Amino acid sequence: MMLPNIRKIIHIDMDAFFASVEQRDNPELSGKPIAVGGLGNRGVVAAASYEARKYGVFSAMPAKTAKKKCPFLIFVKPRFEAYKQVSNHIRQIFLEYTDLVEPLSLDEAYLDVTTHKKGKPSATLIAKEIKQRIKDETGLTASAGISINKFLAKIASDYDKPNGLFLIKPDEAKAFVEELPIEKFFGIGKVTARKMHKLGISNGKDLKNFTEFELIRKFGKQGSYYYHISRAIDSREVKPDRLRKSVGAENTFEYDIDNPDEMKQQLLLIAQTLIKRIEKSKSFGKTLTLKIKFSDFKQITRSKTEKFEINDFETLWKLSSEIFDLLDFTNRKVRLLGLSVSNLQYDNITGQPVQLTFNF
Ligand code: DCP
Ligand code: CA
Ligand code: CA
């Protein structure tokens, strides 16, 4: 008899990544509430140690707020080289078990261990061993999730954090998703969650009351994804070496635009979409590129690189305007405008110029 085609997917994510590296390398910081980043007057917290989280300090929080919540909070300057080094190290460990390793950012990756290189009897044992090796070789802890697909593995790694190991077994998967609050679904942000609550959807089970057609009508392309994950189905493969290189937004207009003010108005809408995507995917880059396609389909791009990651709307819009205002549109009509941010913080991990285009 053929065995059912069930995949074994592990998702590994480092605990309080930047903060843990800083605590490891500076024993004075260990056991203390620290925040990496947050320096400068518009700074935000990149990573908070678990000690700091007890006070309600979290990633992406403005430094000012963090300081109010935890007056003794120690701010530490990020050292990306150190994080990249750990990132490469854990990746080498992953690759000893399988070639199917897909990093999502510096500190996390999916591994497909359906077939693997080590002759281990179970995916859970592999995950345990990987966690132990990360601990022994880097001094840091990671959390692992194990299940039958990416969606469930990712949720599982978050379930038992920090230093977690959580398995969602094949025969438990459906029941697990039914109970899962939609806020915990990877790919459902705050806005979508609110919209779902209005429709009476608060967990996976509620989602199943809607047909795929209804969900697509209400949520666009993502509707189909929601339909399937609410049934614990996620057929996305683990794609080795794929890492987002840029994040962008663009719009092709219904008619060609010749008025620069109108173009700028459209650009503002695109920038608003882009900042949401930047925040959602945590893809903070230093280079902003404006793409313009003219009515004759000729295309130009203009870029500008900052010293810092572009992580707020004000900066994004200021840069976009600076690039746009330098252009001359005399006698030209525009059919498409686009903005993208590249030169991402996570760039160097693979060296592969692959552009990811998944939508969540
Ligand atoms: N990061 C960042 N800015 C953010 C979020 C994260 O610079 N808004 C960086 C710092 C984090 C690292 O990416 O340490 C990994 O992000 P995670 O979301 O995985 O968060 P942590 O690893 O810090 O914590 P957790 O233990 O919850 O995974
Ligand atoms: Ca992490
Ligand atoms: Ca992560």
Q: 142 is in which domain, residue-wise?
A: 1-168
Same domain, 30 and 127: yes
Please indicate, yes or no, if residue 358 is contained in any of the structural domains: no
DSSP state of 44: B
103 and 38, same structural domain? yes
Regarding whether 130 and 91 lie in a shared domain, the answer is yes
Q: Which of 229, 259, 276 is the last residue of a domain?
A: 229
Q: Does ligand 1 come within 6 angstroms of the Cβ of 13?
A: yes
| H/E run at residue 318 | helix 313-325
**Structural domains in the chain (count):** 3
Q: How far apart are CA 16 and CA 162, in angstroms?
A: 8
Residue 150 CA to residue 233 CA, distance in Å, equals: 10
Round to whole Å and give the CA distance between 204 and 184. 10
Question: Do 69 and 148 belong to one domain?
Answer: yes
- Tell me the CATH number at 4: 3.30.70.270
Tens digit of pLDDT per residue, the chain (360 long)? 555 578 999 999 999 999 999 999 999 999 999 999 988 767 899 999 999 999 999 999 999 999 999 999 999 999 998 999 999 999 999 999 999 999 999 999 999 999 888 887 899 999 999 999 999 999 999 999 999 999 999 999 999 999 999 999 999 999 999 999 999 998 899 999 999 999 999 999 999 999 999 999 999 989 999 999 999 999 999 988 655 678 899 999 989 999 999 999 999 999 999 999 998 877 888 999 999 999 998 999 999 999 888 989 999 999 999 999 999 999 999 999 999 998 776 544 443 333 333 322
Q: Are residues 17 and 151 in the same domain?
A: yes
pTM assigned to the model: 0.71
Taking the C-alpha atoms of residue 165 and residue 142, their distance in angstroms, rounded to an integer, is 9
Indicate if 112 and 204 belong to the same structural domain: no
User: What three-state secondary structure class fits 307?
Assistant: coil
Question: Does the residue 354 lie in any domain?
Answer: no
Domain boundary among 147, 168, 189: 168
C-alpha distances out from residue 125 to 11, 100, 103, 130, 160, Å:
14, 17, 21, 9, 17
Which distant-in-sequence residues (6+ apart) come within 8 Å of 189 by Cβ?
280
CATH number at residue 208: 1.10.150.20
**Is residue 283 one of the residues assigned to a domain?**
yes
Q: Is the CB of 43 under 6 A from ligand 1?
A: no
Residue 273 lies in a domain: yes
Q: Which of 205, 186, 9, 211 is nearest to 113 (CA)?
A: 9
- Kindly report whether the peptide bond that precedes residue 240 is cis, defined as omega within 30 degrees of 0: no
CA of 274 to the centre of ligand 2 (A): 24
Near ion ligand 2, which residues have CB within 5 Å?
13-14, 17, 107
Name the closest-CA residue to atom 9, ligand 1.
Answer: 46
| 224 and 319 co-located in one domain | no
- Closest ligand 1 atom, residue 60 Cα: 8
Phi, psi of 352 (to 5 degrees): -100, 125
Give dist(CA 247, CA 339) in Å, integer: 9
**Is 108 annotated as catalytic?**
yes
Pocket test for ligand 1, best of 54, 90, 107, 157 (most atoms within 8 A of CB): 107
Rounded to whole angstroms, how far apart are CA atoms 167 and 157? 9
Are residues 221 and 334 part of one domain? no
Residue 67's alpha-carbon distances to 26, 57, 118, 217, 279, in angstroms, are 21, 8, 47, 44, 22
Same domain, yes or no: 120 and 205:
no
Expressed in angstroms and rounded, the spacing between residue 196 Cα and the centre of ligand 2 is 27
63 domain residue, yes or no: yes
**Residue 318 and residue 252 share a domain:** yes
